[in-house]
A and B are shown apart, each in its own frame.
Chain A
């Protein structure tokens, strides 16, 4: 039995971030106090999640536990569920969120008017709360409510940087998100009618009965398709990703980093939970949803990179690369094996660490080039802001899958997981093609920032990067190498987590 303190951590960390969202607008706006408080609280959540992870892995017997909210027992009450995988994800989310905020501390100051910075903190805290809730919740309707909270916070975090472009991007994002959450809501209502439960494990039992008695197969398929499409729109799976480059490319650097690195992952993890915990992999296979997800993932891997090749703005290029990376994760989910889902989770973690680093690096580089975002304007910026340059190079190597960088580890695991499945040829071909395509746009970017150019350097504003920026870049780089070189214990932990998901 797990100790009382650790038992309360899942609820406490969600609650802490909710309270933070309520307190921050009340604080005086001097010395950027609200932002500092948010950073400390997110750090606290990170420490708590690390402790939870430590306790869960050392508790010996059962690795996961259910936390009942209020005092109603299982079939009626609301529940949270925490296992090693949830704890790892909460830890990674809080670390990536903290580093994105710290790294872009000064660029946030430039982009967001002082009167709005309180609001920015509210949104960041709400986003963090909704991400944690999506990670921990065991109740499908609670998941829906937090998906909506996530939508509102994520769209506002785009629009918080005042400007015509961001408002348009935010609206486009909002409309697509609303289509997605509408579909999710319809699907949840259908599932509730079919099963009579909202808790995921009880739903699983009822669905098993429906499938073995071969009754209501059609409504079951429809609701699975609706919920998958709804969440796929929100996690920017390729044909539904048209909103992503605008939203991620035009917002302030901190927002781009958070949106690309974390917000997409919350929805993807919800899909994984629905596949694994609510339906079960054999039912998913019987209803053929795994094939659909796999095919969409492969298309996303190729098309995301093809679109990225055509971009001239560096942030939009990195945003389209996110679409390709989401494709990798869905490829892992579509393999429909425990190993595949573990590899997908590893890629979620890798991408959550690498993409914020890339956005922070690109922001730092374009800052030293006089706020120009065009790729050619960054010529020679490596020599002005070396930490940012290193970050971009390491991120690019990671995305291409160069050994010893984080992306290599997860791609290797995806390949190894696909060997046990009938779609091995497709998945290997897609991984190889996509890696080459990634190199086609990341290598030129690296060459551009490394090229000495006397003409361009005249235009550089010499803004020495702040210590906080260098510190967070340094931690990002360490994380990148850690994931690339020593990911085996982490993968073992994830596999144990998936088994008790």
Chain B
């Protein structure tokens, strides 16, 4: 068991990191910390993919020059380019999602003066109750 963990230490680290990220994303109250959690989780997945994509002794998937001129076209010399492609795509997605989440967080702060979603909900219900009592008071006045 331990041997397997040591052998796959990159993957083990990635799993632990993504667990930390997911817990932060779910349990943190503060939205900024939630977004940081999201980024930790995404980065852990990239670590996992990069570790899986690396094969010892093989070159990056860019054609190498052979010694006697020409190019080495044997695919066994190179690593698979797809994991790196997936990481790149994932980074683009995660950057845009982070930007969007931060923009919404800014809006939330403008409206409620807090970065905590639960607190925002409490503030909103308080405001609604105040409004309702005002309306009912006004109605009573009219009736009187």
Give me the interface of A with B, judged by CB distance under 8 Å. 141, 144-145, 148, 151-152, 155-156, 159, 163-165, 167-168, 170-172, 174-175, 178-179, 182-183, 185-186, 189, 192-193, 198
User: How many pairs of A and B residues are in contact by the CB < 8 Å rule?
Assistant: 81
**Is chain A's interface secondary structure helix, strand, loop, or mixed overall?**
helix
* Contact (A167, B104) CB under 8 Å given A179-B22, A182-B42, A185-B45: yes
Identify 6 residue pairs between A and B in the complex whose beta-carbon atoms are under 8 Å apart, listed by A's number. Answer: A152-B96, A167-B108, A171-B31, A175-B25, A189-B48, A192-B82
Can you name the residue of chain A whose Cβ is closest to the Cβ of B31? A171
Docked pose: A193 CA to B49 CA in angstroms: 9
Which A-B residue pairs are the 7 nearest by beta carbons? Answer: A164-B111, A167-B107, A148-B93, A171-B104, A182-B41, A168-B120, A167-B108
| B109-122 contact mask (Cβ, 8 Å, vs A): 1 or 0 | 00110000100110
Q: Which B residues from 82 to 103 make CB contacts under 8 A with A?
A: 82-83, 86, 89-90, 93, 96-97, 100-101
A155 CA / B97 CA spacing, docked (Å): 11
Q: Which residues of B contact A (CB under 8 A)?
A: 18, 21-22, 25-26, 31, 34, 38, 41-42, 45, 48-49, 52, 82-83, 86, 89-90, 93, 96-97, 100-101, 104-105, 107-108, 111-112, 117, 120-121, 124
Picked from B31, B45, B49, B104, the residue with its CB within 8 Å of the CB of A170 is B104
Inter-subunit contact A182/B25 (CB<8 Å): yes
User: Which B residues are in CB contact (< 8 Å) with A185?
Assistant: 42, 45, 90
Which of A156, A175, A193 has most B Cβ within 10 Å?
Answer: A175
Are B97 and A198 closer than 8 Å at their CB atoms? no
Report yes or no: B117 in contact with A171, Cβ–Cβ below 8 A: yes
Residues A168 and B42 in contact in the complex (CB < 8 Å), given A178-B25, A182-B22: no
Classify the secondary structure of B's interface with A. helix
> How many Å from the CB of B126 to the closest CB on chain A?
12
A155 — which chain B residues lie within 8 A by C-beta? Answer: 100, 104
How far apart are the CA atoms of A325 and B97 in the complex, in Å? 29
Inter-chain CA distance A172–B34, complex, in Å, is 11
Judge whether B100 and A156 touch: CB under 8 Å: yes
Name which of B26, B83, B107 has the most chain A CB atoms within 10 A of its CB. Answer: B107
Chain A residues contacting B120 (CB-CB under 8 Å) are 164, 168
Tell me which of B101, B105, B112, B124 contacts A178 (CB under 8 A): B101
CB distance from B86 to the nearest CB of A (A): 6
Given contacts A145-B93, A182-B25, contact A174 B49 (CB under 8 A): no
Beta-carbon contact of A148 and B97 below 8 Å: yes
A164 in contact with B38 (CB, 8 Å):
no
Q: Are A179 and B26 closer than 8 Å at their CB atoms? A: yes
Task: Supply 12 further A-B pairs (C-beta < 8 A) apart from A174-B100, A178-B97, A192-B86.
Answer: A148-B96, A164-B120, A167-B108, A168-B120, A168-B121, A175-B34, A178-B101, A179-B22, A179-B25, A185-B90, A189-B52, A192-B83
Option from A144, A151, A189 in Cβ contact (under 8 Å) with B97: A151
B residues near A171, Cβ cutoff 8 Å: 31, 101, 104-105, 108, 117
Residues B52 and A193 in contact, CB atoms below 8 Å apart: yes
Q: Are A165 and B124 in contact (CB under 8 A)?
A: yes
Q: In the bound complex, do residue A189 and residue B45 qualify as a contact, i.e. CB atoms below 8 Å apart?
A: yes
